[in-house]
Chains A and B, each alone.
Chain A
Amino acid sequence: MTMPYYVSPEQVMKDRAEYAQKGIARGRALVGTTYDNGILIVAENPSRSLRKIAEIYDRIAFAGVGRYNEFDQLRVAGIRHADTKGFSFSRRDVEARSLANLYAQYLGQVFTHEMKPLEVEILVAELGITAQGDQMFHIAYEGTITDENEYAVLGGDTEGVRDRMSGAYRRDWTLEDALRACVSALSGPERTLAASELEIAMLARSNGQRAFKRMDRSDIDSALKSRKVGRARSGTVKASS
Chain B
Amino acid sequence: MALPIFSPVNDPGPDFAALLRGIRPSSSNGGDDVGTAGLDAGAITRGLTDPVIPAAGGFPVYPSLDPARSFDEHMRHGTTVLALRYPDGVVVAGDRRATEGHLVAYRTMDKVLRVDDYSAVAIAGTAGPAIEMVRLFSTQLEHYEKVEGVTLSIEGKANQLSQMVRDHLAMAMRGMVVVPLFAGYDTLSGSGQIYTFDVTGGHYIEDEYAAEGSGSRFAKSVLKAGWRADITKAEALDLAIEAIVDAADEDIATGAPDTLRGIYPTVATVTQSGYQAVGDDEIASRVSALYDKLRSRSEYRAGRSSR
Binding site for B on A (CB under 8 A): 49, 51, 54-56, 73-74, 76-81, 83-87, 98, 102-103, 105-106
Chain B interface mostly helix, strand, loop or mixed? helix
Complex contacts, A102 vs chain B, CB 8 Å:
1-3
Complex contacts, A79 vs chain B, CB 8 Å:
143, 146-147
Across the interface, B149 reaches (CB within 8 A) one of A51, A87, A106, namely A51
Across the interface, A84 reaches (CB within 8 A) one of B23, B135, B149, namely B23
Q: Complex Cα distance A76/B8, Å?
A: 12
Does the CB pair B5–A55 fall under 8 Å? no
Complex contacts, B147 vs chain A, CB 8 Å:
76, 79-80
CB closest chain-B residue, reference A99: B3
Complex contacts, B227 vs chain A, CB 8 Å:
none
Chain A proximity mask over B136-173: 1 for CB below 8 Å, otherwise 0: 10010011001101000000000000000000000000
A-B interface, 9 closest residue pairs, ranked by CB to CB distance from nearest: A80-B4, A102-B3, A77-B5, A106-B3, A79-B146, A83-B143, A87-B139, A77-B3, A77-B4
Across the interface, B135 reaches (CB within 8 A) one of A78, A87, A105, namely A87
Does the CB pair B38–A87 fall under 8 Å? yes
Asked if B20 is an interface residue, CB under 8 A from chain A, the answer is yes
Complex contacts, B3 vs chain A, CB 8 Å:
77-78, 81, 102-103, 105-106
Does the CB pair B38–A106 fall under 8 Å? no
Complex contacts, A98 vs chain B, CB 8 Å:
1
Q: How far is the CB of A12 from chain B (nearest CB, A)?
A: 24
Q: How far is the CB of B77 from chain A (nearest CB, A)?
A: 24
Q: How far is the CB of B128 from chain A (nearest CB, A)?
A: 16
Q: Complex Cα distance A80/B136, Å?
A: 14
Chain A proximity mask over B4-37: 1 for CB below 8 Å, otherwise 0: 1100000000001001100100000000000000
CB closest chain-B residue, reference A91: B139
Complex contacts, B4 vs chain A, CB 8 Å:
77, 80-81, 84
Can you name 20 A-B pairs with beta carbons within 8 Å? A54-B146, A77-B4, A77-B5, A80-B4, A80-B19, A80-B143, A81-B4, A83-B19, A83-B139, A83-B146, A84-B1, A86-B139, A87-B16, A87-B20, A87-B38, A98-B1, A102-B2, A105-B3, A106-B3, A106-B5
Residue of A49, A56, A84 most packed against chain B (CB within 10 A): A84
Residue of A56, A79, A81, A86 most packed against chain B (CB within 10 A): A79
Q: Complex Cα distance A85/B23, Å?
A: 12
Binding site for A on B (CB under 8 A): 1-5, 16, 19-20, 23, 38, 135-136, 139, 142-143, 146-147, 149
Complex contacts, A78 vs chain B, CB 8 Å:
3
CB closest chain-B residue, reference A62: B146
CB closest chain-B residue, reference A86: B139
Q: Complex Cα distance A86/B138, Å?
A: 12
Complex contacts, B136 vs chain A, CB 8 Å:
87
Q: Complex Cα distance A74/B1, Å?
A: 15
Q: How far is the CB of A193 from chain B (nearest CB, A)?
A: 23
Complex contacts, A56 vs chain B, CB 8 Å:
146
Does the CB pair A85–B16 fall under 8 Å? no
Q: Complex Cα distance A98/B80, Å?
A: 43
List 15 additional contacts besides A79-B143, A83-B146, A106-B5; criterion CB under 8 Å.
Answer: A56-B146, A77-B4, A78-B3, A79-B146, A80-B4, A80-B147, A81-B4, A83-B139, A85-B1, A86-B139, A87-B16, A87-B38, A102-B1, A102-B2, A102-B3
Complex contacts, A77 vs chain B, CB 8 Å:
3-5
Q: Complex Cα distance A77/B1, Å?
A: 12
CB closest chain-A residue, reference B145: A55
Q: How far is the CB of A110 from chain B (nearest CB, A)?
A: 10
Complex contacts, A84 vs chain B, CB 8 Å:
1, 4, 19-20, 23
CB closest chain-A residue, reference B135: A87
Complex contacts, B135 vs chain A, CB 8 Å:
87
CB closest chain-B residue, reference A110: B5
Q: How far is the CB of A81 from chain B (nearest CB, A)?
A: 6
Complex contacts, B146 vs chain A, CB 8 Å:
54-56, 79, 83
Q: How far is the CB of B167 from chain A (nearest CB, A)?
A: 16
Q: Complex Cα distance A55/B23, Å?
A: 22
Complex contacts, A105 vs chain B, CB 8 Å:
3
Q: How far is the CB of B115 from chain A (nearest CB, A)?
A: 14
Q: Complex Cα distance A198/B158, Å?
A: 36
Complex contacts, B23 vs chain A, CB 8 Å:
84
Q: Complex Cα distance A103/B1, Å?
A: 12
Q: How far is the CB of A124 from chain B (nearest CB, A)?
A: 12
Q: Complex Cα distance A73/B1, Å?
A: 17
Q: Complex Cα distance A84/B1, Å?
A: 10
Across the interface, A81 reaches (CB within 8 A) one of B1, B16, B149, namely B1
Q: How far is the CB of A59 from chain B (nearest CB, A)?
A: 13
Q: How far is the CB of B72 from chain A (nearest CB, A)?
A: 29
Q: How far is the CB of B134 from chain A (nearest CB, A)?
A: 12
